[in-house]
Structure 1
Amino acid sequence: MGIAKIDGAAKYSFKQHTPGENASALIYACSVCDFMDIDTERYEVVAVTGNSMGWYIAMACAGALDADSAIDVINTMGSMMQDGLIGGQLIYPEIDAQWRRDSDISALIDRVIETICDEEGCELFTSIYLGGYRVLAGNESGLKRAEEMLPQVDERYPMRLYNHGAFHSPLLEQVSEKGLASLGEFLFSKPQIPLIDGEGRIWTPYGTDCSKLRQYTLGDQVTKPYDFTKAVQVAVKEFAPDKVIVLGPGNTLGGPTAQALIDINWFDWTSKAEFSSAQQISPKMLAMGNEEQRSQVLVKR
């Protein structure tokens, strides 16, 4: 079944909509449509970033990939594991109830990773620094051991991420090699808007080397940890936006984005309570998956 038919299905199917070869294109379409709906008469987009697959979307929004190139890259990378996932991921919080980073939990996660990697047949790595959460990637043995060793939190965590491979880890070396072999430099352009990657590096309209952008995107971005927290923090420190707009679909990145900002006391937010209170008075973060906030971003008709 083609993507258009899946998108137009009468009901959401977890089994059909979440595999990478389908989810990637659907998420891309939703996010890019959101980006195109931003009222540029009221909002000047000064920089763009994204998380994990959102890096490809960020490149499309910034103009580093045109429409055809973006779907080519996204379809290629999203379908690399359609014949079978390589490893998996789980997510675990490293914050307290007020969304403040807990250094003891972070240290515990690091110790668990080190211990598990010393065990025969086990592989476990930090995959994504996601605001107040750590996403871990590994093989099945490593993930099972992590589930045993990490204390249960809120009867939810550690939580396996369904249909997720071991993204942003050395287990995807072959995926990186296939991507580099399949996707040429001609697909990549200098961004029209500054672009912040998962290492906190800024790719500018004037200084971007397209060969290096391709190498990062298909190389380190695939096999090394993606630091979304750093990307958000660099974006606000370097470009000082009045508002932070979070594209859809949904609002899953709203919390991690706010947590990344709380971590550096941005907008004078030092806790979840302060963030929530400030958002009620005059929201600085506008999530397009939130209907009320979305209305503040859209072109008024």
Structure 2
Amino acid sequence: MNAYVFPGQGSQFPGMGKELYEGSEKARELFDAANDILGFDIKRIMFEGTKEELKETKVTQPAIFLHSVALALTTEELKPDMVAGHSLGEFSALVANKTLNFEDALRLVAQRAMAMQKACEQNPSTMAAVLGLSDEQVEEVCEKANGVVVAANYNCPGQLVISGANEAIEHACVLAKEAGAKRALPLPVGGAFHSPLMEPAREELAKAIAATTFNTPICPVYQNVDAKPHTDPEEIKANLIAQLTAPVRWTQSVQNMVADGATKFTECGPGKVLKGLIMKIDRSVETDAV
């Protein structure tokens, strides 16, 4: 069975999508439509912008979504038996399995990005990667740390990202090293994604999602919040809203997809981050990237 997976924030790079745009009429249509929907020249920033410009949440999220979806929709052999996306990538996955159309999904991604940016400005916060501890050890570190800090991204065994208030993250990094972590380092992100500090963004996104049409998909999406397969549009909506303040259970999603018959994973999007994580989660499956 073929699983298609879609990356999240952090996989952007200057020049992303340019080759695709120049080589595919379908991709050109999507990129040109995106400029109209977003109301700014995302093409220019993707093709010619600096790393700094691309790092802004309001740019990064639509850029990665656009690149990922354009790759998926211009791949002739795109016949997914199941899909999943890491955080933002869940929106790309929902276009690939026809739950959302491209235009509605891009509008939601843009609203999500703006809401998250606002939440970051309200609550100065960050994230940190912890390497070399078990999930349970990292969860224990978060409980002991002073202030708001939670496990945010279960990326693969031995690699977990934590999220929270700045001082709480600093304290948690110290505790993680004391517990034997190989590394515990703050990440260059604008805020505490997938933590309770994203509550204002979750409320804003909930309204936008409620007003959007979700179709019955052609195959299940394994969602971040519970790592389980979903095909019911109302369940998918609820999980997508909950995702902003809940952890990304990527390790568990991949394990469940394999248990349900996935033999090949294809990453659609900029970079090959997910391909690398999947190889660490389960070496028995075939991995590819387009």
Aligned to 1:23: 60
**Alpha-carbon displacement from aligned partner over 1:178-235 (angstroms, at most 9, x marks no partner):** 111233343322212221111122123xxx1x233212211x2111112011111111
| Deviation, structure 1 residue 152 | 8.9
Letter in 1 for 2:114: S
Aligned to 1:214: 237
Letter in 2 for 1:76: Q
1:36 has 2:58 as partner: no
Letter in 1 for 2:128: L
In structure 2, what is the Cα distance between the partners aligned to 1:152 and 1:70?
A: 43
Aligned to 1:181: 207
| Deviation, structure 1 residue 109 | 1.7
Letter in 1 for 2:43: A
Written as runs of structure 1 = structure 2, the 5 A alignment for 1:122-201 is 122-132=147-157, 133-151=159-177, 157-198=183-224, 199-201=226-228
- Partner of residue 224 from structure 1, selected from 226, 246, 256: 246
| Deviation, structure 1 residue 83 | 4.3
| Deviation, structure 1 residue 257 | 1.4
| Deviation, structure 1 residue 237 | 1.6
Aligned to 2:3: none
Aligned to 2:135: 106
Q: Answer yes or no: is the 8 Å Cα contact 1:152–1:158 preserved in 2.
A: no
- Partner of residue 203 from structure 1, selected from 230, 235, 241: 230
Letter in 1 for 2:274: L
Q: Looking at CA atoms only, which structure, 1 or 2, has the larger radius of gyration? A: 1
| Deviation, structure 1 residue 115 | 0.8
| Deviation, structure 1 residue 146 | 1.7
**Alpha-carbon displacement from aligned partner over 1:157-184 (angstroms, at most 9, x marks no partner):** 3232222421222111111111112333
Q: Answer yes or no: is the 8 Å Cα contact 2:115–2:200 preserved in 1.
A: no
Aligned to 1:257: 278
In structure 1, what is the Cα distance between the partners aligned to 2:178 and 2:265?
A: 32
The TM-score with structure 2 as length reference comes to 0.77
List, as ranges, runs of 4+ consecutive aligned residues in structure 1 with deviation greater than 6 Å.
none
Going by fraction, where is strand more abundant, 1 or 2? 2
Aligned to 1:295: none
In structure 2, what is the Cα distance between the partners aligned to 1:152 and 1:253?
A: 29
Q: Answer yes or no: is the 8 Å Cα contact 1:69–1:188 preserved in 2.
A: no
Aligned to 1:46: 81
| Deviation, structure 1 residue 242 | 3.5
Letter in 1 for 2:70: C
In structure 2, what is the Cα distance between the partners aligned to 1:53 and 1:245?
A: 17
Q: Structure 1 unaligned runs (5+)?
A: 95-103, 268-283, 289-301
In structure 1, what is the Cα distance between the partners aligned to 2:117 and 2:79?
A: 39
Letter in 2 for 1:236: V
Q: Answer yes or no: is the 8 Å Cα contact 1:31–1:249 preserved in 2.
A: yes
Q: Answer yes or no: is the 8 Å Cα contact 2:108–2:208 preserved in 1.
A: no
Q: Answer yes or no: is the 8 Å Cα contact 1:185–1:211 preserved in 2.
A: no
Q: Answer yes or no: is the 8 Å Cα contact 1:173–1:223 preserved in 2.
A: yes
In structure 2, what is the Cα distance between the partners aligned to 1:60 and 1:221?
A: 17
For this pair of structures, how many residues does the alignment match?
245
Q: Answer yes or no: is the 8 Å Cα contact 1:185–1:214 preserved in 2.
A: no
Greater displacement, 74-83 / 223-232: 74-83
Letter in 2 for 1:24: Q
**Alpha-carbon displacement from aligned partner over 1:28-78 (angstroms, at most 9, x marks no partner):** 1111122124342xx632110111111111111111110111101100101
In structure 2, what is the Cα distance between the partners aligned to 1:4 and 1:131?
A: 33
Q: Answer yes or no: is the 8 Å Cα contact 2:222–2:257 preserved in 1.
A: yes
